[in-house]
Every structure is written in C-alpha cells, then in structure tokens.
A and B are shown apart, each in its own frame.
Chain A
Amino acid sequence: AIQLTQSPLSLSASVGDRVTVTCRASQAISSALAWYQQKPGKPPKLLIYDASSLESGVPSRFSGSGSGTDFTLTISSLQPEDFATYYCQQFNNYPRTFGQGTKLEIK
C-alpha cells in the first residue's frame, strides 16, 4: 500500500499567516492526490483534487501543488474558520490511503 507522510503533524499559526502542509508519497502517484479539511464532529470536506484543482465553492486562498511523490497544500491568508485538521489522500491505486493528518491550531 502507498504510504502518505504529512508534515508537520501539528502547526500553530495566526490569522493572516501563510501556511503550507506537505504530503509525501512512498511511491510516485502522478497527480492522483486530494486534500480534505475536517472540523471536530464533522465529516471531511474536499478542498483540492488532482493535486491542484480547487473543488467548487472552496475559497481561492486554498491551493495545491505537486506531482509524483511530493505535494503541498497552501493557505495564503489564514481565516478563523480554517483552523481544523487537514488530510491528504491518494487515489492512484487501491487501497486508497490517507495521510496522518495535520492539526492547524490558533497561535
């Protein structure tokens, strides 16, 4: 199974900061990567698919990049509602796998 390693696993930041989360795959997955945001007690919400395509309705301050084994999720200017846990997920093959999650907290 393809392993996804996220870093950092936790991050403290302030409103207005630019934040980057990375996801590294254990083997090349082309652009078959998605990013999700999850808030406590809620299901995950799709933010980015195909590594860099913004899901409809997601604010443009979210962006994704990368291909092969190295990927990033960037939030250009943190808003209060962005404090949550973020997961990457690969869909290059089965089993589908997720990263461990990155918890973004308010500094």
Chain B
Amino acid sequence: QVQLVESGGGLVKPGGSLRLSCAASGFAFSDYYMSWIRQAPGKGLEWVSYIRFSGNTVYYADSVKGRFTISRDNAKNSLYLQMNGLRAEDTAVYYCARDQDAFDFWGQGTMVTVSS
C-alpha cells in the first residue's frame, strides 16, 4: 500500500534551517510528481512546492520562493524540502503528498516550529 512518511521537523530559531524528508513506498516513486503542503496550527492548507519526475521542473509558493528548495532522490524513493531563512510564519505541519493534480496520498506530517 502507498505510504509516505515525513521526518526532520522540530524547533528552530528564526533565520535557521531545517531539511525535511519524505520516504515513499508502495508505488513507483519515480513515476509520480510530488508536492509539499503545510498547515499552520488551527489554519487551512497551503501548497508549498512541487517537483516533477526527475526534478527538472519545480514550482514554489511566493511565500517560500528563494528560501525553500525541493528535491528528490528517485533511487532512494525520497522527497526533500530544504528550508532556509525560517520565519515564525513558517510554523506549521508539513505534509508530503503524491501529486496527480489532486493530492491522492498524504503523509502524516511533520511539525516545524520557528521560535526564539
């Protein structure tokens, strides 16, 4: 069965960095687009970033452009999100999701807290 497991979240100071990982299993990872989506505490969903099969094409939300970098390693069935210059407003649960335009499978999420 399809499984997505995020890791790497935690508490970081403003201006700091974190790298999130998403381990995929149960499907041919290299055949699918992937996205990161986040949800601030008590708030709605915000799409963050997208990556195509080989990683040649990526998109970002304006709110994270220039600070976050999405990447993937198809040999390791893994998706990543490098987050630099973190701000308080980046505090959220970060989900990875399989992207078929609609997001048909989601991980359980990893919490990122940006606070001094």
* Residues of chain A whose beta carbon lies under 8 Å from any beta carbon of chain B: 1, 32, 34, 36, 38, 42-46, 49-50, 55, 87, 89, 91, 94-101
Contact = CB atoms under 8 A, between A and B. Distances in A.
Contacts of B47: 89, 95-98
B45 A46 contact: no
Contacts of A98: 44-47
A40 to B, nearest CB: 10
Contacts of B95: 43-44
Contacts of A44: 45, 95, 103, 106
Interface in B31-53: 35, 44-47, 50
B102 A100 contact: no
B74 to A, nearest CB: 22
A34 B46 contact: no
The range of chain B's interface size is: 20 to 34
A20 to B, nearest CB: 20
Contacts of A101: 44-45
A97 B103 CA distance: 12
Interface centre among B97, B104, B108 (most CB of A within 10 A): B104
A85 B47 CA distance: 17
Interface in B18-71: 35, 44-47, 50, 59, 61-62
Contacts of A45: 106
Nearest to A87: B45
Given A87-B45, A89-B45, A100-B44, A46 B104 contact: yes
Contacts of B44: 87, 98-101
A95 B64 CA distance: 12
Contacts of A55: 102, 104
A46 B103 contact: yes
Interface centre among A32, A34, A46, A87 (most CB of B within 10 A): A46
B50 A43 contact: no
Nearest to A6: B44
A49 B61 CA distance: 22
Contacts of B97: 43
Nearest to B103: A46
